[in-house]
Chain A
Amino acid sequence: MTKKEAKMIDKDGVRADGRKPDELRPTKIEVGVLNNADGSAYIEQGKNKILAAVYGPHEVHPKHLALPHRSRLRCRYHMAPFSVDERKSPAPSRREVELSKVIREALEPSIFLEYYPRTSIDLFIEVLQAHGGTRCAGITVASLALADAGIPMRDLTAACAAGKVEGQLVLDLTDQEDKKGEADVPLAYMPNLDAVTLLQMDGQLTLEEFEKTISLSLEGCKQLYLLQKEALKVKYVAVKEDIEE
């Protein structure tokens, strides 16, 4: 062990990767990247690289899983073996199974599932490169993939974490900040409906800090939401501009 660990935040409040405490990682989103899926999207948030694909609504297999009153959303969050430093076994781990569940529950309220009874919507989130906050980035892309598939939704869902690192409240934690920091609060949010669909906390915060953390991640979600909307429109705007030239 080194005697003195490098500080995560310097005395001017600048983080290890040069960000301010309330700044998101640089984010790039693309919609409709896969031809064979009904809907798809890709996000790069800092060093995170995540692909999402949607199939459906279609018939449920096996048939007994079909629900008579609504569509079934099935979600698989999966990390590629090469997504982390040490090879990860491709078999779904306990963590991935749990994340699949919380992501599904974060997205379900945004979809009009009751429009398509006896069907299923299959969602695949593949983490190609992980660097902290993949569940949130996963929700952000998955929501876009659903919109790209033409599935009717109440709102897009954006997700983003905030937490406490070296006594400071910061937005959008990286892997190191998450591991060495004191607390991490992932949150998913539908901005137009002003509804939170996922809220977790790992670590300890005072009530006051907790409230501040939440308002920090809500701001982050709103910024991501704008990026999501732009990503959905950009394809069509490009065609239109081409013609008008």
Chain B
Amino acid sequence: MPTFYENRQLVTPGDLLAEGNYVAGENTFKEEGKLYASCVGMVEYSERRVNVVALKAFYTPKVGDTVIGKVTDVTMGGWIIDIDAPYPSLLRASDVMERSYRPQKDELTSIYDVGDLLIAKIVSYDRTRDPLLTVREPGLGKITRGQIVEITPTKIPRVIGRKGSMISIIKSETGCHVLLGQNGTVLVRGKTPEEERLAIMAIRKIESESHTSGLTNRVTEMLKKEKEGESKND
């Protein structure tokens, strides 16, 4: 079972990755016993599986994902939410109300209006139906404060880091609360705009350098340096 690239090497669509008894993982496909890449990204070989971590991608909804979206329309029975996916998603009015929903009486715009940002969870989605969202869990609902950063969704795991190492560094160094939407939208909430600026800078750095190693150290370094610069200015 030969493989044709090194681990974490850059590949482009159509590149032959492996032959023989491998399972085609993410962003790969198999044809006549040969495994090819289908995206620009980095190969990852494991025991039996070959994955390609895409360097640029769009979000494909998955049941159970927490996402950050924007209300784009209010309809009869709910809201249409843009979650940066190929499909618009729905949030039903009955999901938000405590009691049953009465279309004649209840004014949906008084709950969420066009332009509001929401943290929500995907409860159902398949190829034939648009994603359905819920906000009926602690921590979900309207965003009232903070700043939004958008990154390529495949880089969310990199922002989290191994066992959450990266995200905990950003949180502790900047004092910000960072909430990651699986769709690539990140909410940063800090006590001061300056703290938020730092955290956003760190996230942007992770996005542009996600395919290099030793990133955690460089991010820590950058944050420390920036903070020093700031205290001198004060």
| Contacts from A to B (Cβ < 8 Å) | 38-39, 56-59, 68, 71, 110, 112, 116-119, 147-150, 152-156, 190-193, 228-229, 232-233, 236-237, 239-240, 243-244
Contact = CB atoms under 8 A, between A and B. Distances in A.
Interface string B6-38: 000010111110000000000101010000101
B186 interface: no
Given A119-B86, A152-B39, A147 B13 contact: yes
Interface in B122-161: 127-128, 152
Contacts of A149: 56, 58
Query: Which label, helix, strand, loop or mixed, suits the secondary structure of the B interface?
Result: loop
Interface string B85-116: 01110000000000000000000000000000
Given A192-B16, A192-B36, A240-B212, 6 more contacts: A116-B86, A147-B39, A148-B56, A150-B56, A155-B14, A236-B211
Interface of B: 10, 12-16, 27, 29, 31, 36, 38-40, 54-58, 86-88, 127-128, 152, 208-209, 211-212, 218
Point out which of A39, A118, A150, A229 has the most chain B C-beta atoms below 10 A from its C-beta.
A150
B56 to A, nearest CB: 5
Contacts of B14: 153-156, 190-193
Contacts of B218: 243
B10 A233 contact: yes
A147 B208 CA distance: 18
Contact of B86 (A57, A156, A192, A193): A57
Given A38-B58, A192-B36, A154 B13 contact: yes
Nearest to A157: B14
Nearest to A57: B86
